[in-house]
Amino acid sequence: MTETAADPAAAGSSARPFRQFMSRIGPRRSSTGVGDAGWGRTLFAAIVSFIYFFPVFWIILTSFKTYEDALAVPAKFFFTPTLDNFAQVFSRAYSAGGPVQNTGFALYFFNSLFISGVSVLLALAIGTVAAFGFSRYPLRGNDTYLFMILTTRMLPAIVVIIPIFIMFRVTGLAGTYAGIIALYTVFNLPFAIWMMKSFFDELSPDVEDAARIDGSSDIRVFFKICLPQVLAGLAATAVFGLILTWNEFLFALLLSGVETRTVPVAMSQTIGGDIGVRWGLLAAIETLFLIPVIIVTFALQNQLLRGVTFGTVKR
């Protein structure tokens, strides 16, 4: 612990002469970004990561277990894996010996993908523009607006859910894609605005001023100069937004219809049953549900961690 606490401060003091020597003969290190640590750090990080990951690992392991294996009392690390749970996610018999039915999970997975994808993109587009506005054209009472936006994030969901529920029923939005997408967009907006504003705030205005002097329009400045510099921020915001909407439960439970039901809602309805919780099945749903987010996070990780380039322009 203490060892890691001192680490970001790069060069170790005991090895300094050696490092100085190496830096003269070795390849030149890049002038920005983080220092390099070797395989030793990898080993340490691997141990920590695996401990941290263990509960998830156990969920994935459970998804390959039979009903009996999942409840075995000395917990089983080694067992004969089965794919039955994954097949049963999409079609299974609801009672012992009953007919095999389609569970509708294919549709629920599509719903989750479609609803989160569209709402995150919308929130990013609207939020980034708004954040740029807040950052570059301070309104009178700027702080008040920003604070109001933050306030909407502090709401206990329960305060808004009753009026939104009634509002959706009156306007016929309940159970439609448009309704739930609009709701999730708003859900993500405050975070998108605050996050992107903090990224825009850290950009140096000099570059923009130079471009304006050279005759660039405001729109061109935004797209050609500011936006490329905050790509890391966009990626990070997108990932957070995706995670929030992907897993949102309460609003989805109350406001999505049969046709627009998302996976968490369907998953919660799987928990009950005549033979207690079917842990294997539940684990299989969660494992499948986890894959898309992991892919997106992994794909955007480079952007996420290329905050390094971001450091070059800062201040």
Q: Per CB under 8 A, which of residues 100..119 are in contact with other proteins?
A: none
Q: Per CB under 8 A, which of residues 24..63 are in contact with other proteins?
A: 29-39, 41-42, 44-46, 48-50, 52-53, 55-56, 58-59
Most distant CA pair in the chain: distance in Å? 77
Q: Per CB under 8 A, which of residues 70..99 are in contact with other proteins?
A: 71-75
Write the burial class of residue 291 (CB in 10 Å: 0-12 exposed, 13-18 middle, 19+ buried): exposed
Q: Compute the C-alpha angle 255/259/264, nearest 5°.
A: 60
Task: Please name the amino acid found at residue 93.
Answer: A
Q: Per CB under 8 A, which of residues 236..255 are in contact with other proteins?
A: 236, 240, 243, 246-247, 249-250
Q: Per CB under 8 A, which of residues 286..315 are in contact with other proteins?
A: 286, 289-290, 293-294, 297-298, 301, 304-305, 307-308, 310-312, 314
Residue appearing with tokens 């510099």: 229
Say if residues 241 and 124 touch (Cβ distance below 8 Å).
Answer: yes
The CB-of-97 to other proteins minimum distance in angstroms stands at 26
Residue 163's contacts (CB-CB under 8 Å, 6 or more residues apart) are none
Q: Please, what sign has the CA dihedral across residues 210, 213, 215, 217?
A: positive
Binder among 99, 156, 215, 272 for other proteins (CB under 8 A): 156
> Per CB under 8 A, does 181 bind other proteins?
no
Taking the C-alpha atoms of residue 201 and residue 246, their distance in angstroms, rounded to an integer, is 29
> Per CB under 8 A, does 204 bind other proteins?
no
Q: Per CB under 8 A, which of residues 207..226 are in contact with other proteins?
A: 218
Stretch that binds other proteins, among 88-96, 193-201, 207-215, 223-231 (CB under 8 A): 193-201
Taking the C-alpha atoms of residue 130 and residue 132, their distance in angstroms, rounded to an integer, is 5
The CB-of-69 to other proteins minimum distance in angstroms stands at 11
> Per CB under 8 A, does 188 bind other proteins?
no
Binder among 104, 117, 133, 175 for other proteins (CB under 8 A): 133
Residue 31's contacts (CB-CB under 8 Å, 6 or more residues apart) are none
- Residue 6 or 96: which CB sits closer to other proteins? 6
Binder among 95, 140, 215, 258 for other proteins (CB under 8 A): 140
Number of Cβ within a 10 Å radius of residue 295? 10
